[in-house]
């Protein structure tokens, strides 16, 4: 039996395609998101599906422990869950700003916290944090989103240095535009129109499946090959 893979945000977009890819490659999976029905409907083999909000550390930890009791220790955690409500900072409620911080940053910390000591003790393991090009450069309507993804970049880079002596890999993946539902938490009509026009000009950008293939490739390299950061976009996307 191959080793256990944990994927957050597996109910749609990149996480869903990751779940399908890893299942097709024969890995046992723990798949997490709030809309668990959408994950169950994928009907994937050897997949435990749990309704977990990544903000809830206890639920996150219990789900991982339950899966580990069946499939053994986690070999790869993919922190993919995220939200992107775009708008000017003066239009975004503080609650929405906090949600972004809690899901995009604290969700990543929660997941890392559950697995990191076991990986360190095992001298093996991989953590893949899904950041964004928004973690490398700032742009309009992304004040807090940029902040969270810069945070994910910084956390991943620093943790990578601390975990390297223990043979644990940490990969930051930074996609540009991917054709998913990520914009669904944005409500400002003008921001939505601009986003959709940009997306249309790029014919949708990368597909979630393409991103999942790249992540799978990085994981499938031998444990001593650490692809530290991947920045990827549709070739026609300039930034
Ligand atoms: P989707 O909206 O399609 O997927 C987001 C996933 O995150 C869903 O499965 C959702 O599940 C899950 N999620 C959101 N909030 C929570 C929560 N509180 N607890 C658990 N799961 C949660 O978007 P993408 O696939 O595009 O997004 C995946 C990642 O990729 C995000 O981190 C995003 O920032 C990043 N990204 C996306 C880009 C793009 O252009 N699409 C570009 C760069 C990075 P549910 O609602 O069921 O809980």
Tens of pLDDT, residue by residue over 73-124, are 999 999 999 999 999 999 999 999 999 999 999 999 999 999 999 999 999 9
Answering whether pTM is above 0.95, one says yes
Q: How far is the CA of 11 from the centre of ligand 1 (A)?
A: 9
CATH number at residue 38: 3.40.50.720
Residue 69 lies in a domain: yes
Residue 133 lies in a domain: yes
In angstroms, rounded to a whole number, what is the distance separating the alpha carbons of residues 180 and 236? Answer: 18
Residue 181 lies in a domain: yes
> Total structural domains in the chain?
1
Of 18, 50, 81, the residue with max ligand 1 atoms within 8 A of its CB, to mutate for a pocket test, comes to 81
Res. 17: pLDDT tops 90 = yes
CA-208 nearest atom, ligand 1: 25
Residue 239 lies in a domain: no
Residue 124 lies in a domain: yes
Residue 237 lies in a domain: no
Tens of pLDDT, residue by residue over 165-184, are 999 999 999 999 999 999 99
Structural domain that includes position 59: 4-232
13 lines ligand 1 (CB under 6 A): yes
Query: Mutual orientation of helices 143-163 and 107-122 as an angle, nearest 10°?
Result: 10
- pLDDT-derived band of residue 1, with 50, 70 and 90 as boundaries? confident
Residue 117 lies in a domain: yes
Tens of pLDDT, residue by residue over 33-46, are 999 999 999 999 99
CA-177 nearest atom, ligand 1: 40
Instruction: Return the percentage of the chain with pLDDT > 70, whole number.
Output: 100
pLDDT at residue number 169: 98
Res. 239: pLDDT tops 90 = no
Residue 152 lies in a domain: yes
202 lines ligand 1 (CB under 6 A): no
Cα pseudo-dihedral 101, 83, 9, 221, rounded to 10: -80
Average pLDDT, the chain: 98
14 lines ligand 1 (CB under 6 A): yes
């Amino acid at each position: 039996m191959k080793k256990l893979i944990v994927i957050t945000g597996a109910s749609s977009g990149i996480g869903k395609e990751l779940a399908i890819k890893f299942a097709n490659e024969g890995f046992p999976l723990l798949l997490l998101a709030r809309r668990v029905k959408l994950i169950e409907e994928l009907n994937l083999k050897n997949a435990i599906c749990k309704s977990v909000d990544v903000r809830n550390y206890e639920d996150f930890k219990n789900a991982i422990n339950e899966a580990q009791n069946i499939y053994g220790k986690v070999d790869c955690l993919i922190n993919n869950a995220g939200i992107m409500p775009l708008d000017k900072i003066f239009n975004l409620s503080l609650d929405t700003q906090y949600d972004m911080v809690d899901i995009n940053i604290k969700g990543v910390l929660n997941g890392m916290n559950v697995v990191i000591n076991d990986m360190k003790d095992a001298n093996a393991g991989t953590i893949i944090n899904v950041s964004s090009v928004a973690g490398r450069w700032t742009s309009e309507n992304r004040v807090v989103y940029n902040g969270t993804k810069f945070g994910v970049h910084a956390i991943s880079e620093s943790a990578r240095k601390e975990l390297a002596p223990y043979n644990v890999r940490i990969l930051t993946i930074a996609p540009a535009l991917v054709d998913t539902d990520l914009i669904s938490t944005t409500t400002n009509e003008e921001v939505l129109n601009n986003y959709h026009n940009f997306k249309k000009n790029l014919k949708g950008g990368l597909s979630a499946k393409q991103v999942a293939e790249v992540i799978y490739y990085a994981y499938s390299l031998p444990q001593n090959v650490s692809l530290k950061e991947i920045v990827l976009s549709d070739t026609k996307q300039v930034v």
